[in-house]
Structure 1
Amino acid sequence: MLLRSLLLILLGCGSVVLLFLAAIWLGQSRLIFRPAKDEPIPESLLAYQPAEVWIALQPQAVRSPRLQAWWFPNQGVTPWTVLYLHGIQGRWVDTEDRLLQLLSLGLSVLVLQYRGYGRSSGPFPNEQRVCADAEAAVAYLAKEHAIPSDRLLVYGHSLGGAIAAELANRQPKLAGLILEGSFSSMRAMTQYRQRFAWFPNWLLHQRFDTLAKVRQSSVPVLILHGEADTEVPALMSEALFLAAAGPKQLCRIPDGGHNDLPKLAGDRYRQAFQRFLDLVAARSRA
């Protein structure tokens, strides 16, 4: 009788553990992505007359899931276009100053909303899906605006940096890669965030291994990070810089946080970006 009771207790405990692990496995992406609702564009950006565009994920399908994006055409002298990939929330308040800096440099910018963000359709995002979304944006720019990958800069902020690094591996002819406030890997982030330090590595399938991706890529990369960033430590950008295989530049901003670099750094941010544009231009002429 006692043995039977013990077996029932062990079976019950085992079932609870298995259910817990299954919940973590299945709900992992919901711990990472926090899609923002559709928001109006800030007035400061409306001056650039952006156009709302839609990107079909399955162009041949009758009812293809579609991604919402905003196209900011610019009449500047620069030949470069930027594909901007936002972080976990994708709010305009976190993006506005960054876009204003890019547009002031004469760059055209496509701001992508991953599936589940803004008014984009499709199931809840995960690593595989958002990387496919970024590839669809590259295809859209090539088809609709005749922008080849060697004239395209991919800019990823925070989580968007991991997506951008993956895209640079899939699109090795990209003109350049910009990583701002990006982490080295999701595993490193679980260790940095003490409340997730218990998370077993074998259970982590949303890996976002930015460090491995920059090691494999020869695309020129600019890495920006605020030294006072409490969301993602600046040491992770140093690790990315050391690992990057291609031409690379690193700009660390004293007192810079996770979302305020363009506004706080001002001219220094702009100068770092201009130096990178010069590097990209020189490489394209070589």
Structure 2
Amino acid sequence: MTVAKLQIATQLWLQLLLLVGIVVAIAYLAICLFLFIQQPRFIFYPSRVIEKTPELFNLPYEEVYLPVRVKSGKVEYIHGWWMQNNQPNAKVLLYLHGNAINVGANIHHANRFYQLGFSVLLIDYRGYGRAQDRFPNEMRVYQDAMIAWNFLVQQQQISASEIFLYGHSLGGAIAIDLAVKFNEAAGLIVESSFTSIREVIAYRNVFRIFPIDLLLTQRFESIKKVAQLKMPVLFIHGTADSAIPSFMSEKLYAAASEPKTLFLVPDAEHNNTATVGDIEYLQTVKAFVEQAHARRLLTTSE
């Protein structure tokens, strides 16, 4: 091969490499843009099909549709079930479920709280079940939880000091955010939840080739909020949880102020802590509620 031909071949290879590099760079930037815009769809997995209702457990309930006024002036609705308990001195639980399915997948666990003597408000965020058809994101679910709180306090005329907040998984992050805003609540129960979406991504070792800190808009930074809590808090987590490791609840517990309790359930996975924990689970929740109530009485009498 002559020198001239070698130079031409080298130039062609360089041009080809440059072209490949440009294509790869464009593809990389396109994926970054896609992740930036579509990231709620990697976090929320709503379903419109409600397979179970409170009728499964013969629970008395009221179907509620709560209005949410959005910036455009339009009114959207969240949906929920208000299961009022007739037991004397019944406490109230605002139940905030995780990122998947809808209220129907949570009725079994909501029934446990009902049997413990709670009146339970179990809600779907917009985009889930029978709630308004708008895909959820971090700000919207925070707003939806606040609407549910206002329903209990304003429409049902329930004292804030009688309301316990419960959140499972992603719902735990939502419950923590709500508890920071309304510190007069009786107590907070956070089950199988995480420190932040950023740490979940790091733990699962996904998207590591992308600048996550720049792209992430759905942060759910519970670890930065728990120190602001001014109510008793109970953290529950299964030690065999493969979706969200239990060390995240341990971190949340360490960062939270007293009074606080950490209940780790040996061998329990992400969605079966109550089943595996069985009697001890119920006793732990009951003891926490009694202690929180006693503390409230002591505080108000001082």
What TM-score does the superposition give when structure 1 sets the normalisation length? Answer: 0.92
Contact map agreement 2:243 2:270 (CA 8 A) in 1: yes
Cα shift at 1:94: 4.5
Distance 2:176 2:203 in 1: 21
Correspondence 1:216 to 2:228: yes
- Correspondence 1:1-286 to 2 at 5 A: 10-42=21-53, 45-58=56-69, 64-91=75-102, 94-199=105-210, 200-285=212-297, 286=299
Cα pair distance change 1:213/1:60, threshold 3 Å? closer
Distance 1:201 1:78 in 2: 47
Cα shift at 1:183: 0.8
Code of the residue aligned with 1:75 in structure 2: it is N
Contact map agreement 1:45 1:100 (CA 8 A) in 2: no
Distance 1:9 1:40 in 2: 50
Distance 1:264 1:202 in 2: 40
Distance 1:18 1:59 in 2: 32
Q: Where does structure 2 lack aligned partners over 5 or more consecutive residues?
A: 1-7
Give aligned-pair identity as a percent.
36
Point out the structure with max Rg over C-alpha: 2
Cα shift at 1:158: 0.5
Q: Where does structure 1 lack aligned partners over 5 or more consecutive residues?
A: none
Cα pair distance change 1:266/1:93, threshold 3 Å? farther
Distance 2:29 2:296 in 1: 54
Distance 2:25 2:72 in 1: 45
Secondary structure of 1:65's counterpart equals: strand
Code of the residue aligned with 2:218 in structure 1: it is Q
Cα shift at 1:252: 0.9
Q: Describe the superposition over 1:161-185 as per-residue Cα deviations: whole angstroms up to 9, x where unpaired.
A: 0111111111121111110000111
Distance 1:34 1:91 in 2: 9
Code of the residue aligned with 1:119 in structure 2: it is R
Code of the residue aligned with 1:57 in structure 2: it is V
Distance 2:294 2:29 in 1: 56
Contact map agreement 2:96 2:175 (CA 8 A) in 1: yes
Q: Describe the superposition over 1:81-117 as per-residue Cα deviations: whole angstroms up to 9, x where unpaired.
A: 1110111114457423321210111100001100000
Distance 1:143 1:9 in 2: 61
Contact map agreement 2:103 2:124 (CA 8 A) in 1: no
Code of the residue aligned with 2:40 in structure 1: it is S
Structural RMSD (CA): 2.3
Cα pair distance change 1:202/1:69, threshold 3 Å? same
